[in-house]
């Protein structure tokens, strides 16, 4: 177990507590409809496009997003990987299998579907992060929970308020409470706010980050999917320190909850989102969000429609400290 370090580590490396200034992105070279994840992801859709066209469109969207983030001043680490016999159609969503901390810890997580478990390549990613100038000082894993048939899909199922050391999580097949609380203990986060959700179908939200996002001073949430007996508590908890922007279920379907505040190399704030989300936010909501950072919309409609995830899912935050170069 890795001890949490109460420190000014983030300040030492010129990075805010809440926002990463570096992200991992994985090219969608095997992208396609994933039948395994479709069992509980109602945001996925099959299309009539042939597989070659789907991959071409997805790669075009991916490259444009990488270029746009870099222009905005975000460090992007492109993590490529060799093809093998096991296809990974959802590899473009790396935030579900790893996470990092300001103290230099690197965690891996138990994924629910077999073909998503094949995405977990810790040493290869650590090597890429090291080459990009980041330092990993400790490695830990929660994949032991696979033996119990329990899953915890990293920042897909957990939305973190790093400032207040609080994790928010919608419980589901992909978010097991015991594993969630174990992880919180490991990183020294003293509060876990877990809750139930229900879509019109009666099924829970598969990943918390499609209905909730937390920035340094704001939170986006679709409170209507939370049962009334829990809703008030969750919203009040957020409102204690954040400006709460409530979105509708219709806006969730356009991925308005799947956004991420980041920090540029110059310390400016930006909020990455899809073009679908940007178009679905009301003018008043856009105005509210723009007070917290420049809005950066990207057209990832192919990836959203077929993969059931959006811009935030494509971004694996890197909080690792910079390697100190020897003189």
Question: Averaged over 82-110, what is the pLDDT?
Answer: 93
Assess whether pLDDT exceeds 50 at residue 5: no
Contacts of 143 (CB under 8 A, 6+ apart): 108, 109, 110, 120
Q: Could you tell me which CATH number the domain at 9-317 has?
A: 3.75.10.10
Question: Averaged over 177-189, what is the pLDDT?
Answer: 97
The per-residue pLDDT for 224 is: 97
Closest by Cα among 114, 108, 120, 97 to 34? 114
Assess whether pLDDT exceeds 90 at residue 43: no
Q: Which residue has the tokens 């460090």?
A: 75
Residue 39's pLDDT band (cuts 50, 70, 90): low
Give the three-class secondary structure for 225: helix
Assess whether pLDDT exceeds 70 at residue 303: yes
Closest by Cα among 240, 219, 148, 22 to 208? 219
Burial (Cβ within 10 Å: 0-12, 13-18, ≥19) of residue 236: exposed
Q: Which of 73-82, 239-248, 318-327 has the lowest mean pLDDT?
A: 318-327
The per-residue pLDDT for 324 is: 67
The per-residue pLDDT for 251 is: 98
Alpha-carbon distance 118 to 206, whole Å? 20
Question: Averaged over 113-141, what is the pLDDT?
Answer: 95
The per-residue pLDDT for 49 is: 81
Q: Which residue has the tokens 């009301």?
A: 282
The per-residue pLDDT for 8 is: 35
């Amino acid at each position: 177990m890795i001890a949490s370090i109460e420190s000014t580590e983030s300040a030492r490396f010129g990075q805010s507590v809440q926002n990463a200034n570096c992200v991992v992105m994985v090219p969608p070279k095997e992208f396609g409809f994933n039948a395994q994840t479709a069992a509980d992801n109602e945001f996925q859709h099959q299309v009539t496009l042939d597989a070659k066209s789907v991959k071409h469109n997805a790669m075009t969207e991916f490259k444009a997003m990488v270029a746009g983030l870099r222009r905005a001043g975000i460090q992007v680490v492109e993590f490529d990987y060799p093809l093998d016999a096991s296809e990974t159609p959802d590899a473009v969503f790396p935030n579900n299998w790893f996470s990092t901390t300001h103290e230099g810890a690197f965690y891996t997580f138990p994924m629910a579907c077999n073909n998503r478990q094949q995405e977990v390549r810790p040493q290869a990613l650590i090597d890429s992060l090291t080459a990009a100038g980041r330092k990993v000082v400790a490695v830990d894993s929660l994949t032991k929970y696979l033996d119990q048939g329990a899953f915890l899909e990293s920042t897909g199922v957990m939305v973190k308020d790093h400032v207040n050391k609080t994790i928010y999580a919608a419980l589901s097949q992909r978010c097991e409470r015991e594993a969630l609380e174990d992880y919180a203990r490991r990183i020294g986060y003293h509060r876990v706010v877990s809750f139930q959700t229900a879509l019109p179908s009666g099924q829970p939200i598969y990943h918390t980050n499609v209905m909730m996002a937390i920035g340094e001073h704001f939170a986006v949430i679709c409170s209507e999917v939370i049962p009334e007996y829990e809703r008030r508590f969750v919203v009040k908890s957020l409102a204690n320190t954040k400006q709460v922007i409530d979105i509708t279920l219709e806006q969730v379907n356009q991925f308005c909850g799947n956004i991420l505040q980041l920090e540029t190399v110059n310390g400016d704030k930006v909020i990455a989102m899809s073009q679908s989300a940007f178009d679905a936010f009301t003018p008043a909501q856009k105005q509210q969000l723009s007070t917290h950072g420049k809005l950066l919309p990207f057209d990832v409609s192919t990836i959203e429609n077929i993969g059931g995830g959006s811009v935030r899912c494509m971004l694996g935050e890197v909080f690792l400290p910079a390697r100190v170069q020897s003189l």
